[in-house]
């Protein structure tokens, strides 16, 4: 079996690679409980923008490294040639999010008639304000520009002429997850500072540890029963306030946690493209977008295994060690 992981230096792509490489140590404690185990004849290839950056993280890993641009057709064709499973983790920053649609179209064209199994992560943006819990049959209702772009990317990939599987994940956190929304939830408690979140902090919400997010993608990869299916991953409903309190506990500090009223963010968005982009996804914190994991558990046996207490402890330790 030949696997391709695109966007392998991003947070979730990095975690997928770690899970696959960990599975080489046949009965390692760190091996994934579900998903493919790479055998002696299996090959792992990664598609990254910067090969040196990948090798810095995985200096001795037995991995084929394809360096290139996800928006350059010849690079994508070369990376995607002759593979059986593609785990598509390319994810452009919010300010350039529209390029995810173009990257998806290029990937579908590049794969051509090879017919690999394409697996990719979805999120909760596309569901708008649904009746919880979200399930694989919950209809899309994207309420913002970024949510509509995510829905368009999803449509490009799921309408490809080869098997696809989308796994909708809660907001993920963990080592290497340093986006503008997640970083303050750990960096500020480590510094003993208060956390100001740009959305309500007491609405039910879910987070998933990044290793579990990777395991969910690998649980369906290469599984015939999962082809042309949509899955949702549920963890444990919490709130932003409770989640951040765990970070304070893990850091041994204390501070206030408060959310900004929506009108404050809307006003700030008038003067900042960056804030405007973030404001486009804050609906997922203003409404209950918790999900059911029943279908993925029934079909492939996947369940998250890292709870908030342990996941937050590991994440705080990583932020502390990296000085992020």
Cα-flanking dihedrals φ and ψ of residue 167, to 5°?
-120, 110
- List b or e across 34-65, with b for residues whose CB sees 16 or more CB atoms inside 10 angstroms: bbbbbeeebebbbbbbeeeebeeebeebebeb
pLDDT tens, per residue, the chain with 324 residues: 999 999 999 999 999 999 999 854 433 444 444 555 677 789 999 999 999 999 999 999 999 999 999 999 999 999 999 999 999 999 999 889 999 999 999 999 999 778 999 999 999 999 999 999 999 999 999 999 999 999 999 999 999 999 999 999 999 999 999 999 999 999 999 999 999 999 999 999 999 999 999 999 999 999 999 999 999 999 999 999 999 999 999 999 999 999 998 889 889 888 888 888 889 999 999 999 999 999 999 999 999 999 999 999 999 999 999 988
Residue ranges of domains in the chain: 2-174+209-235+290-305
The pair of three-digit structure tokens given for residue 96, joined into one six-digit string:
């350039």
Closest CA to 168 of 222, 224, 235: 235
Check whether the bond before 89 is cis (ω within 30° of 0). Answer: no
Which residues are CB-neighbours of 241 under 8 A, at least 6 positions away? 201, 202, 257, 259
**DSSP state letter for 134:** B
In what helix (H) or strand (E) does residue 294 lie, and over which residues does it extend?
A: helix 294-300
Range 2-174+209-235+290-305 classified under CATH 3.40.50.720: yes
pTM of this structure: 0.94
């Amino acid at each position: 079996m030949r696997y391709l992981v695109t966007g392998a230096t991003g947070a979730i792509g990095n975690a997928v690679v770690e899970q696959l490489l960990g599975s080489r140590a046949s009965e390692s404690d760190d091996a994934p409980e579900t998903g493919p185990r790479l055998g002696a004849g299996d090959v792992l290839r990664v598609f990254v923008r910067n090969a040196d950056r990948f090798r810095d993280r995985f200096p001795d890993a037995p991995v084929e490294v394809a360096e290139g641009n996800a928006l350059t057709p010849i690079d994508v064709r070369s990376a995607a040639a002759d593979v059986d499973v593609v785990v598509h983790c390319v994810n452009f920053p919010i300010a350039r999010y529209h390029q995810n649609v173009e990257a998806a179209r290029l990937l579908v064209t590049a794969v051509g008639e090879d017919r690999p199994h394409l697996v990719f992560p979805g999120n909760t943006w596309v569901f708008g304000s649904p009746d919880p819990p979200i399930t694989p049959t919950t209809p899309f209702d994207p309420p913002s520009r970024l949510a509509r772009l995510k829905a368009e990317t999803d449509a490009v990939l799921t309408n490809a002429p080869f098997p696809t599987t989308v796994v909708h994940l809660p907001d993920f956190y963990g080592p290497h997850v340093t986006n503008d929304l997640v970083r303050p939830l750990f960096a500020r408690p480590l510094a003993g500072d208060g956390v100001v979140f740009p959305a309500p902090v007491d609405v039910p919400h879910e987070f998933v540890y990044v290793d579990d997010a990777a395991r969910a993608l690998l649980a369906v990869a290469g599984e015939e029963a999962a082809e042309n299916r949509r899955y949702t991953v549920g963890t444990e409903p919490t709130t932003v306030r409770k989640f951040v309190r765990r970070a304070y506990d893990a850091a041994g500090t204390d501070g206030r946690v408060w959310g900004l009223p929506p009108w404050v963010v809307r006003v700030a968005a008038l003067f900042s493209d960056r804030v405007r982009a973030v404001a486009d996804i804050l609906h997922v914190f203003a409404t209950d977008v918790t999900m059911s994991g029943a279908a993925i558990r029934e079909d492939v046996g996947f369940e998250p295994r890292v709870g908030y207490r342990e996941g937050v402890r590991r994440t705080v330790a990583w932020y502390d060690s990296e000085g992020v």
